[in-house]
Amino acid sequence: MFDRRLLQHFDWVLLGLTFALGGIGILTLYSAATANVDVAEVKGLVYLKQSYWLAIGTAVMILLVVFNYRWLNRLALPIYWCSIGLLIAVLFMGKEVSGSQRWLVLGPISFQPSELVKITLAIILARYFSNHASEKGFSLKELWKPLIWTLIPFALIVKQPDLGTSLIVLLIAASVTIFVKIGRRSLLCLTVAGIAGSLVAWFFLKGYQKQRILAFLDPQRDPLGAGYHIIQSKIAVGSGLLFGKGFLKGTQNALSFLPEQHTDFIFSVLAEEWGFLGSAVVVILYLLVVMWGLSIAIRSKEPFGTILAVGVTSMIFWQAFINMGMVLALLPVVGVPLPLISYGGSSVLATMVAIGILLNISMRRFLFKE
């Protein structure tokens, strides 16, 4: 049953930050769609579609707030294996777009199960670590289950292929594991294994993925191919200067020089039109969301809520960090959307689920039992 006392502790600050980012996203998508003929013809009114997904995400978020988040602890295993089942279904009957098979189609709706898997991974890791707390730190022997739970979705997502989302899965697992404390020897072994695995993974990357990494190191080696995205993005961001060119006045976007301006490179559109000051506002909003999420984790009254809040907050942080990093040519282009701003229903829904979980934990930190 929903306790009306919870409304007294509703986290309006987190909700306000969420809607602020969502609103900025719709405005930026409006600019990307109306100022650029290519986007308007191919994607239609992306800002309206994004608005619909934000509305659906808000409804899901409210539904999550109603139920006690501790039920997620009890249902962690079924939720996890259902999400894995969806990833397996993608391999057999998923919709292929631009060489990647990532979407499941249900009537008029297509969605990416990999986006929701990031949430389910945070849930099952929170369940395990909260039930096996260790003051000395977890050893390698105690980490084999979390490792398997992480590698299963990682492998299935890499198969699609989706390097960006698979990387986020690893970073969520790493963030949660480091937070709950890991023994020094175990941490050293995992670090060495991670570095070795990264070197070996190079030989298994597809050709275009290797080209993206090489283009990150030297964009001018292929300015009209793999390096084109990075070069045009840097031009767009740099041309915004301090105050930007103004709303709907971005030339890189309007003249179709900026690729993927409504998804992966939406931040370039924003930076060109609103300049350094506008970009700084967005960065500050993300920082506030992350800091607020971590404060919710610290204030939680029980381990599962604390670890779960860290997990979903790390998801938002890493996505924003990697997206902005690749737009600014500080990281390779790996195809990670900017939460609540990039166009994409699955991404918006996953982020709103994460926000709903944080609101739930925040509201119930005052109640030990319900």
Over 50: is that where the pLDDT of 339 sits?
A: yes
C-alpha distances (whole Å) from 302 to each of 5, 121, 126, 127, 307 are 19, 19, 11, 12, 9
**What are the structure tokens assigned to 136, written together?**
């000395």
- For 338, phi and psi rounded to 5 degrees? -85, 120
Residue corresponding to tokens 């995205």: 229
Average pLDDT rounded to a whole number, residues 231-249:
83
Higher pLDDT, 218 or 130: 130
| Helices 163-180 and 144-158, packing angle to 10 deg | 170
CA 124 – CA 168 distance, rounded (Å)? 16
- Beta carbons of 307 and 180 less than 8 angstroms apart: yes
Could you write out the DSSP letters of every residue in 270-283?
Answer: HHHHHHHHHHHHHH
Q: Is the predicted pLDDT of residue 224 greater than 80, yes or no?
A: no
Give pLDDT, residue 171.
Answer: 95
Beta bridge partners of 15: none
Q: What is the dihedral of CA 358, 361, 364, 368, to 10 degrees?
A: 180
The confidence band for 369, taking pLDDT boundaries of 50, 70 and 90, is very low
How far apart CA 29 and CA 7 sit, in angstroms, is 33
Most confident among 4-13, 26-35, 226-235 (mean pLDDT): 26-35
List phi, psi (to 5°) of 173: -60, -40
Report pLDDT for 170. Answer: 93
CB 170 within 8 A of CB 185: no
| Phi, psi torsion values for 108, nearest 5 degrees | -80, -5
Structure-token pair, residue 301? 């009254």
Q: Say if CB 302 and CB 131 are below 8 A apart.
A: no
- Residue 310: its pLDDT value, please? 96
If we measure between CA atoms, which residue out of 228, 351, 246 comes closest to residue 293? 351
What pLDDT is recorded for position 181?
82
Report the distance separating Cα 57 and Cα 144, nearest Å.
34
Instruction: Please give the model's pTM, rounded to 2 decimal places.
Output: 0.89
What is the structure's pLDDT at 152?
95
Mean pLDDT within 11-19: 94
